[in-house]
Structure 1
Amino acid sequence: MSARSRAELRIEREKTGMLWWVGQTISWLALFVVLALLAIMVLIPRLGGATAYTVLTGSMRPDYQPGSLVVVRPVDLNEIQVGDVVTYQLVSGEPEVVTHRVVGVGNTLGGEQRFILRGDANNTNDAPVVPEQIRGKLWYAVPLLGFVNSAISGQQRTWLIWLAVGGLLCYSAVMLAGAWCDNRRKVEK
């Protein structure tokens, strides 16, 4: 066997050895995790017209622990029923929100609709909520992902998305170049 053949055989073994497979598995898992996080936190809510919030307190225990990511999308107020989980503004027009369960829906003597809400772990109801305060109904929730959501601001999220896209494009370019080089080596033989 010539020196060139032995070197080619060694390179082929390195590409299919145990270390190579471990590296491939880790890189594919990392890629899958990043894509899944982007989908859960950004893509799905954006496509669904929803907003992601982070549960900060224990008022919705045991179902929604602090640090849970809750994704809420707007719904027709007539669809909101007792038992639904909704996010509402504490003060109409202000950014601070709370996610609690609807325990009552009714009207005032003047005919204005009101929602009565309470955290699952709370003993008392919240102050009555007017329709303008309701941001939406719970679509889905993911435990612990809210910590990531809180740690990344809107501007950081935009940069991270572009960084992930750039990284994926670079990764695909490297893989394409590697395949092209391997193909050329096989043709030259």
Structure 2
Amino acid sequence: MMRKIWNFITSILLILYILVVALLFLPQAAGLKPMYVLSGSMEPTYHVGSLIYIKPGNADKLEVSRPVTYTMGNSDVVVTHRVIKIDKEKRMFYTKGDANLSEDSGATSFDHIIGYPLLSIPYLGYVAAFASKTAGKIILVTGLAILLIMSYLFDFLTKRGGKSEKN
């Protein structure tokens, strides 16, 4: 009976581990770019700590009221805010965070568009941020090794005289 409980627990932990890792890495194979939410400017649409998947796109998909992910000016700072106005002649758009009282200062060029949020998973951004660091990668690999060892540990410990204990 203990073996069944142990196998059930380790199986559930392994499934959860695989699910989290799949959510972190598989969407990239579909061309989506994962990004984690660092500020509350888009609350309640995108919560701090969420992982959002960005579908690459350009100005062809730009619409008023649609969230867009873009770089700010000539920096590497990436922002996801809602489009509030589009100036097609100047190829510029204006944005505002859902939680912000005023619109963002200045317009953004169409050339700065990275894409459009497709999916958001709350709290997974914290895991993604951690996993992107060296220590996080080490812990992910070590965690998998521990789970695999745990799944065989009960059988190893209950062997008696060359035969495993019957349940």
Alignment map for 1:96-135 (pairs within 5 Å): 96-107=77-88, 111-126=89-104, 127-135=106-114
- Aligned counterpart in structure 2 of residue 52 of structure 1, from 28, 34, 44: 34
Runs of at least 5 residues in structure 1 that lack an aligned partner in the other structure: 1-16, 179-184
Cα distance in 2, alignment partners of residues 23 and 169 from structure 1? 12
Letter in 1 for 2:93: F
Greater relative CO (CA pairs within 8 A, separation 6+): 2
Partner secondary structure for residue 67 of structure 1:
coil
Letter in 1 for 2:66: D
Task: Find out whether 1:66 has 2:56 as its counterpart.
Answer: no
Query: Greater strand percent: which structure?
Result: 2
Letter in 2 for 1:139: L
Query: Greater helix percent: which structure?
Result: 1
- Aligned counterpart in structure 1 of residue 72 of structure 2, from 86, 90, 106: 90
Alignment map for 1:144-155 (pairs within 5 Å): 144-153=123-132, 155=134
What is the percent sequence identity of the aligned residues? Answer: 27
Could you tell me the TM-score, scaled by structure 2's length?
Answer: 0.77
Could you tell me the TM-score, scaled by structure 1's length?
Answer: 0.69
- Count of residues in Structure 1 that have an aligned counterpart in Structure 2: 157
Bigger Rg, structure 1 or 2: 1
Partner secondary structure for residue 39 of structure 1:
helix
Runs of at least 5 residues in structure 2 that lack an aligned partner in the other structure: 157-162
Letter in 2 for 1:84: R
Q: Say whether the 8 Å CA contact 2:131–2:137 is kept in structure 1.
A: no
Letter in 1 for 2:32: A
| Cα distance, 1:100 vs structure 2 | 0.8
Please report the RMSD computed on the Cα atoms of aligned residues, expressed in angstroms.
Answer: 2.8
